[in-house]
C-alpha cells in the first residue's frame, strides 16, 4: 500500500528512554502512522515524500501536560489561540490545560463544557483538559471523568486563585481514592500550607534571596511525604507536579520500590536557571515552588538520569506584564509563574546536550511520558497506530531568544530574552499535516477509557 505521506529521516527517535538515533522511514495514511521501518531496507512508498537530511532529527510531537490557558475569564493573560500557536512553534503538538486561572475553574462537568466550547475552533494543536479537585467537589469527579478529563489536579497550599482553594491532607487521601476508582491520576501541587504558615519571613521586596528563604525545600519535602502516604493508603496514582526540591527524589524512589504509584515531573526553569544567577528585582523568574540553587539543579538532572523524574513539562503560567511587577521588581506582589511554552524544547535540549543526553531522552521526557500520564494512548510516540504527530528539530542550530518571535500573549514576561540556545524547530506536524499558524485545526481530546 502506498502511504499518503512518507517521511524519510536520516536521524529519528521514537520515544523510548535512552534510545539512540537511527535512520527510519515512516508511513502515514490519513492521520495515523501505518508503518515504521529501517530506512536502508524500507520499501515504503508515498504519494508525498518528506526527505529529512542529517542536520535534523525526527521526533514524536511533544506533549506538554502542564499548561495554564486562562480562557475564558482571564483571556488577557493567555488564550487558546495564542497558547497553542506558541506550542506549535515550539514543537508541541498536544497540550493539556490545567483547571485553574480561567473563570470558571474546571471543577465540574458543566465548567468543562464552557471551556471546551470556548476552545473549539481556536486551537493550533490538540488540547486535553485536567479536572480540578477542591474541598467539597468529590461528587463532581465521576461526571468530569465521564466527560473525558485526563485526570485531576489539586493544591496542598494556596493556589493564588480564590475559587480554587487547597485541600487538606485528609481531603487529598479521599480524592486520591476517588480518582483511583475512576482510573485517573491525581496531580498534586505539593507544598505544605501548615509549614508555610509557620515561617516568619521578612517581606522579600526586590530580594530573590528573601523570596527563596520564605519557600524552603522543606515545604515541598513534607508535602511529598504526605502525597506518598496517601497513594500508599489508597493504591491511587499520585503525580507530583513541578518538583523543584531535589531532597524529595530519594523519598519518591524509595516509595516506588515499595510499590507506591507515584510519579513526578520537573520543568525547564528548574533545569536551566539557578537562584545564584537571579538578579535583584528579576520577577520574571518568580514561580512557586521557586527556582533553587545550582547544586539542587544538578541533582534534578541526576533524577532524570536515574528515571526518578519521568517528565519535563513547561508549567506555562502566563500573566500580563503589570502582574509581573516589571516596573517595581517586587517579589511579594509579582505573579508567580513563568511563560515558556514555545521555548521548552530548546531550553531543555541546550542543557541536556551538555550533560551527555540525546534526542531520545528528550522524546521520552517530553513526548512519551506526558502522553502516558494523561492517558493519551495515540500520542507521544512514533509507532504504528499512533497519531502522525512529529517535531522536526535542528539540534545543532543556535539562536538567541527574540521576544518579537514569541507567540504567547505577553512575550515581555519571558526570563529568557537574549539567551543563546540550541535547537531550532523546523516544523511541527499534526496528524500528518504541517501546522499552519494561520489555520487552527487542533482537536479537543478526551482521555481514553481506563
pLDDT digits (tens, 9 = 90+) for 325-343: 999 999 999 999 999 999 9
pLDDT band at 1; cut points 50, 70, 90: confident
Q: Give mean pLDDT, residues 31-35.
A: 98
Q: Give mean pLDDT, residues 226-238.
A: 98
Q: Are 428 and 61 in contact (CB under 8 A)?
A: yes
For residue 72, is the peptide bond before it cis, meaning its omega torsion is within 30 degrees of 0?
A: yes
pLDDT at 100: 97
Whether 312 has a pLDDT exceeding 90, the answer reads yes
Q: How many Å apart are CA 374 and CA 447, to the nearest integer?
A: 7
Whether 201 has a pLDDT exceeding 80, the answer reads no
Q: 284, 344, 282: which is closest to 320 by C-alpha?
A: 284
Q: Are 119 and 71 in contact (CB under 8 A)?
A: yes
C-alpha angle 315-92-42 in degrees, rounded to nearest 5: 145
| Residue where the block lists cell 488577557 | 76
Q: Are 215 and 289 in contact (CB under 8 A)?
A: yes
Residues near 176 by Cβ (< 8 Å), separated by ≥ 6? Answer: 186, 230, 231, 234, 236, 238
pLDDT band at 200; cut points 50, 70, 90: confident
Q: For residue 53, count other CB atoms closer than 10 A to its CB.
A: 9
pLDDT at 124: 98
Q: Give mean pLDDT, residues 163-177.
A: 97
Whether 448 has a pLDDT exceeding 90, the answer reads no
pTM of the model: 0.97
Sheet order of strands, 92-97 included: 62-67, 92-97, 126-129
Using alpha carbons, list the distances in angstroms from residue 422 to 226, 316, 326, 345, 419: 39, 20, 27, 9, 10
pLDDT band at 202; cut points 50, 70, 90: confident
Q: How many Å apart are CA 181 and CA 184, to the nearest integer?
A: 8
Q: Taking all residues of the chain, what is their mean pLDDT, rounded to a whole number?
A: 97
Q: Are 96 and 374 in contact (CB under 8 A)?
A: yes
Residues near 2 by Cβ (< 8 Å), separated by ≥ 6? Answer: 45, 46, 47
Give burial (CB, 10 Å; 0-12/13-18/19+) of 450.
exposed
Residues near 201 by Cβ (< 8 Å), separated by ≥ 6? Answer: 210, 213, 214
pLDDT at 24: 98
Q: Which residues pair with 49 in a beta bridge?
A: 6
pLDDT at 449: 58
Domains identified in the chain and CATH numbers: 61-376+405-416 (3.20.20.140)
Q: How many Å apart are CA 258 and CA 232, to the nearest integer?
A: 9
pLDDT at 380: 98
* pLDDT > 90 fraction of the chain, expressed in percent and rounded: 96
pLDDT at 49: 97
Q: Give mean pLDDT, residues 90-96.
A: 98
Amino acid at each position: 500500500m502506498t502511504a499518503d505521506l512518507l517521511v524519510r529521516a536520516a536521524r529519528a527517535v521514537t520515544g523510548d528512554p535512552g534510545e539512540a538515533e537511527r535512520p527510519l522511514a515512516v508511513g502515514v495514511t490519513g492521520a495515523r502512522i501505518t508503518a515504521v521501518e529501517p530506512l536502508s531496507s524500507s520499501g515504503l512508498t508515498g504519494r508525498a515524500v518528506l526527505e529529512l537530511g542529517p542536520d535534523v532529527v525526527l521526533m514524536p510531537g511533544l506533549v506538554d501536560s502542564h499548561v495554564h490557558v486562562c480562557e475564558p475569564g482571564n483571556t488577557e493573560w493567555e488564550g487558546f489561540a495564542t497558547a497553542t500557536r506558541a506550542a506549535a512553534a515550539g514543537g508541541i503538538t498536544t497540550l493539556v490545560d490545567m483547571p485553574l486561572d480561567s473563570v470558571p475553574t474546571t471543577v465540574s462537568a458543566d465548567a468543562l463544557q464552557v471551556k471546551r466550547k470556548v476552545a473549539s475552533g481556536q486551537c493550533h494543536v490538540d488540547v486535553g483538559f485536567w479536572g480540578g479537585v477542591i474541598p467539597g467537589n468529590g461528587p463532581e469527579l465521576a461526571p468530569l471523568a465521564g466527560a473525558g478529563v485526563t485526570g485531576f489536579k489539586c493544591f496542598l497550599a494556596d493556589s493564588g486563585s480564590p475559587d480554587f482553594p487547597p485541600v487538606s491532607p485528609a481531603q487529598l487521601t479521599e480524592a486520591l481514592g476517588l480518582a483511583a476508582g475512576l482510573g485517573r491520576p491525581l496531580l498534586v501541587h505539593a507544598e505544605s500550607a501548615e509549614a508555610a504558615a509557620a515561617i516568619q519571613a521578612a517581606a522579600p521586596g526586590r530580594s530573590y534571596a528573601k523570596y527563596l528563604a520564605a519557600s524552603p525545600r522543606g515545604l515541598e519535602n513534607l508535602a511529598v511525604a504526605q502525597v506518598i502516604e496517601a497513594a500508599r493508603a489508597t493504591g491511587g496514582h499520585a503525580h507530583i507536579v513541578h518538583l523543584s526540591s531535589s531532597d524529595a527524589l530519594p523519598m519518591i524512589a524509595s516509595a516506588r520500590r515499595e510499590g507506591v504509584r507515584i510519579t513526578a515531573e520537573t520543568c525547564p526553569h528548574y533545569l536551566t536557571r539557578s537562584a545564584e544567577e537571579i538578579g535583584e528585582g528579576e520577577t520574571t523568574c518568580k514561580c512557586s515552588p521557586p527556582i533553587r540553587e545550582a547544586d539542587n539543579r544538578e541533582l534534578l538532572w541526576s533524577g532524570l538520569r536515574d528515571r526518578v523524574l519521568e517528565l519535563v513539562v513547561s508549567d506555562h503560567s502566563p500573566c500580563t506584564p503589570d502582574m509581573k511587577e516589571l516596573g517595581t521588581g517586587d517579589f511579594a506582589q509579582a505573579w508567580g509563574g513563568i511563560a515558556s511554552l514555545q521555548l521548552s524544547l530548546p531550553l531543555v535540549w541546550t542543557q541536556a546536550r551538555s550533560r551527555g543526553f540525546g534526542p531520545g531522552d528528550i522524546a521520552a521526557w517530553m513526548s512519551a511520558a506526558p502522553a502516558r500520564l494523561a492517558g493519551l494512548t495515540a500520542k507521544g510516540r512514533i509507532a504504528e497506530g499512533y497519531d502522525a504527530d512529529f517535531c522536526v528539530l535542528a539540534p545543532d542550530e543556535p539562536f538567541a531568544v527574540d521576544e518579537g518571535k514569541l507567540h504567547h500573549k505577553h512575550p515581555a514576561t519571558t526570563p529568557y530574552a537574549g539567551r543563546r540556545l540550541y535547537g531550532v524547530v523546523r516544523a511541527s506536524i499534526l496528524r500528518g499535516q504541517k501546522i499552519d499558524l494561520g489555520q487552527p485545526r487542533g482537536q479537543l481530546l478526551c482521555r481514553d477509557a481506563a
